[in-house]
Amino acid sequence: MRVKICGITNRADAEAAIESGADALGFNFFPGSKRYVRPAEVARWIGDLPQSILKVAVVVDPTLEEAIVIGQLPGISGLQLHGRETPEFCRQLRQAGIRFAKALPVRDGSSLRELPDFSTRTFVLDSLHAGAFGGSGKTFPWGLAADFVRQNPHRRIVLAGGLTVGNVAEALRIVRPFGADVTSGVESFAGRKDHQHLRDFIAAAKSA
């Protein structure tokens, strides 16, 4: 089970997540987020983190030029597209050699039907919350995600949306995804991680 800790805003939290067993870290480069970090201010220390850890830049509706620039920053392993990016945009991004995952907001069963080709195998299933692009702390019916995983064995599905220390093991047993993604569920407050919650969450996810 792969675990991504998202909404990292500082080096201490990044290092604590890595020490606790995280496989990937997420950095929010969307200015509208409560966990926004300026790429120029964090790029140096992100580049100092272990190469074995995926460093994911979370972006929302960037231009193609912006996405390519961010994807080529030192230390950044790939992007997580969390907005309304089109299949054509994703195709061009792939042609530019940028790795990325596409986030899909889930409200009901129709949210995951007849998906267009987004030129990636990796999808993040997140809860749909008005005015928010991830980090809402809200869950969605995990049975929808479980059905999607079973129907798409060739895709790498990452489960997000309201995961906590208390519910992650159950969620992963139901859904059986490729990975788990958490933001608010391991925070003391928006943008600051609780290091004990980090350890407990990652241990619970890995043991599921």
Question: Which of the following is catalytic: 6, 13, 23, 181?
Answer: 6
Neighbours of 139 (CB within 10 A): 17
* Residue 90 annotated as catalytic: no
As a whole number of angstroms, the distance between CA 165 and CA 168 comes to 6
In the set 13, 23, 90, 126, the catalytic residue is 126
Whether 6 is catalytic: yes
- Other CB atoms within a 10 A radius of the CB of residue 72 amount to 11
Find the helix packing angle between 168-175 and 195-207, rounded to 10°.
Answer: 30
- Long-range CB pairs of 183-190 (<8 Å, 24+ gap) are 183/5, 183/6, 183/7, 183/26, 183/35, 183/134, 183/135, 184/7, 184/135, 184/136, 184/137, 185/137, 186/5, 187/7, 190/7, 190/34, 190/35, 190/135
Q: Which residues are catalytic?
A: 6, 126
